[in-house]
Amino acid sequence: MATQTIVRKPSGPQRAGRRRTGRGSSGLTFNPKRPAWKEPASPLYQAIKAVVLGLITLSIVLPILLVVSTSLADDQQLVQAGGFVLWPTHPTLASYQAIFSGQFMFRALGVSAVVTAVGTVLALFVTITMAYATSRPVLFGRPVLLLVLFTLLFAPGLIPMFLMVKQLGLLDTLWSLILPGIFGAFNFVVMRSFFMNIPQELIESARIDGAGDFKILWKIVLPLSKAVVAVVGLFYAVGFWNAFFNAMLYINDQTKFPVQLVLRNYVVQGGGLADQLGIATTPPPQSMQMAIVVVALLPILLVYPFLQKHFNKGVITGAIKG
Amino acid sequence: MSSATSQAPSVPAPGRTLPPAGQGGRPQTRKKASAAGRKSLGARWKRDRQMVLMMVPGLLFLLLFFYIPILGNVIAFQDYQPFLGILNSDWVGLQNFVDLYFDPDFWVALRNTLVLALWQLLLFFPVPLGLALIVDSLISTRIRRWFQSIVYLPHFLSWVLVIALFQQVLGGAGLVNNELRHLGLDAIPFMTNPDTFPLLATVQLVWKDAGWAMIIFLASLASIDGSLYEAAAADGAGRWRRMWHITLPGLRSIIILLLILRIGDILSVGFEQFLLQHDAVGPGASEVLDTFTYFAGVVGGGWSMGAAAGLAKGVVGAFLIFAANKVAHNLGEPGIFSKKAG
């Protein structure tokens, strides 16, 4: 086909555009407009695509909307609608007042907040120092790196972990929810590959000026790594917030239950809500269950935009691809 | 590592002309030094001691929560009694593994694990690929962004939350069954029927993670050279031909890699998801190797037997991952370890 002229014209800018986004970034933001060589969209495919994407979107948005709305709905509307509403006509915080009227839910929220905050700070500290220390060829760097990477291959197992936590005297303390989670090999790999891409010249010149490695890390490397620190920190935070099994395993004392365990016990297992929460009068159990779900969900929804912002920068995929 | 060292020669090495505070250069001087004879351990320690110090917190973690617990697996060869401890419990050789072999529950757990892994392979694995192809074909950046924001979200919800949401929609008192009853129909036990549980579990997994798993395919798609499409279109290839001859070959590497890794990881199908639904569905359908370890060991008090099950799974799993990586290498793919190390 003699389409030289047709092909030539768009080829320059299009190619450049595609390439640019193919590098480094995960390519989530390219394609300002349809390339000239692409045939116009067929209405049939367009329709199929729209339906598929629409259904997927609905399957995710609807349950969340349903839960949030029902937790806010008043009794009357709930009874009329038969238990579920998609939009509260007279939004009320009654079920939230109810679940927080006892001490129980407050404490759970506090436990989750403390574990998440302390855990994330410690996790960032351990991960950053370890990732930086192995990001350049230094003494012991290689064997230590292998010690870390081995954790990707094998897990010590649940029972030995339990015995270890018990041996350390951490059972029934918040430390049992924090310490076993302060280092993740995946986050380490993400962090380390970011550090390795920092130009050596910067570090070298700081050394010549007499800076030690701690100072270099703090003054030069970290300010350049804000994006990756934010992403890894958020990953850790989400992980700590979401963890429920370690609480089930290590915590017996009800006053130290995190939110996820409360959610599991009183929503998934359907335990006696009012008795346990120490509440006298109750709104419909359904909306109280929903309120607990929302309490567990809300922090994730709040940090999600910050997390999501960084996906486009290829911080994560860049590391996965090596 | 290689990328860090390969940069070294291009930078002029400051060498030993540094002021004393400089403690010698970094990799550059090391390169030079190794040519002239390796630096002594003392000199390297002097140069790197702050870096070594930085490894201490991580090493402490690895020691306490990885390497010592790994040694704790010796209780799989003991008749472990909590009040006696590891040091005083009796050694029983392979008895726990023999017990495991004759325990029908263990075989149920193994069977369920493999069945679920197969379902996941057939139903879960292709979904992110298909989604990525659709998303990649979207022209509007705005729609892409929106859609991606929404489908990545469930990955960040905990399993407890996911199961709770599924219950509210599909459970016995959930939205769908409520409507069915309104219409005078029988409720459908989506969440409690053991026969359909593998399907339910796979749907839950797709809902939670298929969007997120798409990200890696999207990255690969973006790295395919756009001029290939252009040339093919110029030669008269339609959209399906382009997909078959350009897109799919371009994704071949990553598909093979992920497939092999998934097969290598076949003994791990997830844990919390099945633990949470253990009561509702019953162990017959929802017991997997990991929950078996938990219920036999921690709940049932059979510490040694639980540890034996965990150890068997861990060793076989590590072997499978290792073998899968070898296969990937032999197929000319980069594999996982060389990548993560590089």
Tell me the C-alpha distance between B303 and B312, whole Å. Answer: 14
Domain at B233, CATH number: 1.10.3720.10
Does the residue B89 lie in any domain?
A: no
Residues 145-164 in B contacting A (C-alpha not used; CB under 8 Å): 145, 147-154, 156-161, 163-164
| Average pLDDT of span A295-302 | 93
Per-residue DSSP letter, B245: I
**Count of domains observed in chain B:** 2
Select, from the ranges A146-160, B164-178, B190-204, B222-236, the one with the highest average predicted confidence (pLDDT): B190-204
Give me the helices (H) in chain A, please: 4-22, 43-72, 75-81, 94-101, 103-133, 141-150, 158-167, 175-178, 185-196, 200-208, 213-216, 222-224, 226-242, 245-250, 259-263, 273-277, 285-311, 315-320
B214 and B308, same structural domain?
yes
Pairing of strands B90-91, B78-79: antiparallel
Q: How confident is the model at residue B97 (pLDDT cuts 50, 70, 90)?
A: very high
Say what angle helices B159-170 and B197-222 make with each other, to 10 degrees.
120
The answer to whether B198 and B115 are in contact (CB under 8 A) is yes
What is the rounded distance in angstroms from the CA atom of residue A165 to the CA atom of residue A179? 9
Q: Which of B81, B158, B165 to mutate to test the interface with A (most CBs of A within 10 A)?
A: B158
Q: What residues contact residue A265 under an 8 Å CB cut-off, 6+ apart?
A: A257, A271, A276
Query: What confidence score (pLDDT) does residue B219 get?
Result: 85
Confidence at B4, pLDDT banded by 50, 70, 90: very low
Residue owning tokens 């969440």:
B191
Residues B122 and B23 in one domain: no
Q: How many helices (H) and strands (E) does chain B have?
A: 21, 2
Substitution target from B48, B56, B64, B156 for chain A, most A beta carbons within 10 A? B156
| Number of C-beta neighbours around residue A287 at 10 A | 28
Amino acid at A322: G
Average pLDDT over residues B48-59: 93
Least Cα distance to A22 among B221, B243, B333, B214 occurs for B221
Domain ranges of chain A: 102-320
Per the CB < 8 Å rule, is B51 touching A141? yes
- Say what the pLDDT of residue A217 is: 93
The answer to the question of residue B48 being in a domain is no
Give B336's pLDDT tier (boundaries 50, 70, 90): low
For all residues of chain B together, what is the average pLDDT? 83
3-state SS assignment for residue B90:
strand
- H or E segment and range at residue B151: helix B141-152
Residue B220 and residue B326 in one domain: yes
Distance CA B98, CA B92 (A): 11
Q: Which two tokens stand for residue A283?
A: 């709104």
Question: Which chain A residues are closer than 8 Å to B225 by Cβ?
Answer: 15, 18-19, 22
Which residues in A lie closer than 8 A to residue B138 (C-beta atoms)? 49
Concatenate the DSSP letters of all residues of A120-152 into one string: HHHHHHHHHHHHHHTSS--TTHHHHHHHHHHTT
Which residues of chain B are within 8 Å of residue A139 when distances are taken between CB atoms? 41, 44-45, 47-48, 51-52
Output the pLDDT for position A5: 34
Across the A/B interface, how many CB contacts are shorter than 8 Å?
Answer: 358
Confidence of residue A321 (pLDDT cuts 50, 70, 90): very low
Sign of CA dihedral B282, B288, B290, B293: positive
Question: Which range of residues forms the domain containing residue B22?
Answer: 1-39
CB contact (8 A) between residue A137 and residue B234:
no
Residue A10 has pLDDT above 70, yes or no: no
Q: Is the pLDDT of residue B318 over 90?
A: no
B146 in a domain, yes or no? yes
Q: Is B46 within a domain?
A: no
Residue partners of B156: CB distance under 8 A and separation at least 6:
A238, A242, A300, A304, A307
Query: What is the DSSP annotation of A271-283?
Result: --HHHHHT-SS--
Say if the Cβ atoms of B175 and A84 lie within 8 Å.
yes
Q: Of B24, B39, B54, which residue constitutes the final position of a domain?
A: B39
Question: Is B247 inside a domain boundary?
Answer: yes
Nearest CA in chain A to B8: A200
Q: How far apart are CA A143 and CA A148, in angstroms?
A: 9
Do B107 and B20 fall within a single domain? no
pLDDT above 80: residue B23? no
pLDDT value at residue A33: 64
Does residue B290 lie in a domain region?
yes
Distance of residue A299 Cα from the nearest chain B Cα, in angstroms: 10
Is residue B279 predicted with pLDDT exceeding 70?
Answer: yes
- With cut-offs at 50, 70 and 90, classify the pLDDT of residue A276: low
In a domain, B5, yes or no: yes
- Mutation target to probe the B interface, by most B beta carbons within 10 A, among A139, A175, A252 is A139
> Nearest Cα to B134, choosing from A18, A305, A55?
A55
Mean pLDDT for A52-71 is: 93
Chain A residues touching residue B297 (CB < 8 angstroms): 158-159, 162
Furthest-apart CA pair in chain B: how many Å?
Answer: 89
Do residue B164 and residue B231 come from a single domain? Answer: yes
User: Rounded mean pLDDT of B149-169?
Assistant: 92
Question: Residues B4-15: what's their mean pLDDT?
Answer: 38
B31 lies in some domain: yes
This model of the complex carries an ipTM of 0.82
The residue ranking higher by pLDDT, B336 or B184, is: B184
Looking at chain A, the whole-number percentage of residues with pLDDT higher than 70 is 81
Q: How many angstroms away from the CA of A104 is the closest CA of chain B?
A: 19
| Chain B hits for A304, Cβ within 8 Å | 153, 156
Task: Indicate whether B80 pLDDT > 80.
Answer: yes
pLDDT at B10: 38
Q: Which CATH fold would you assign to the domain A102-320?
A: MetI-like fold (1.10.3720)
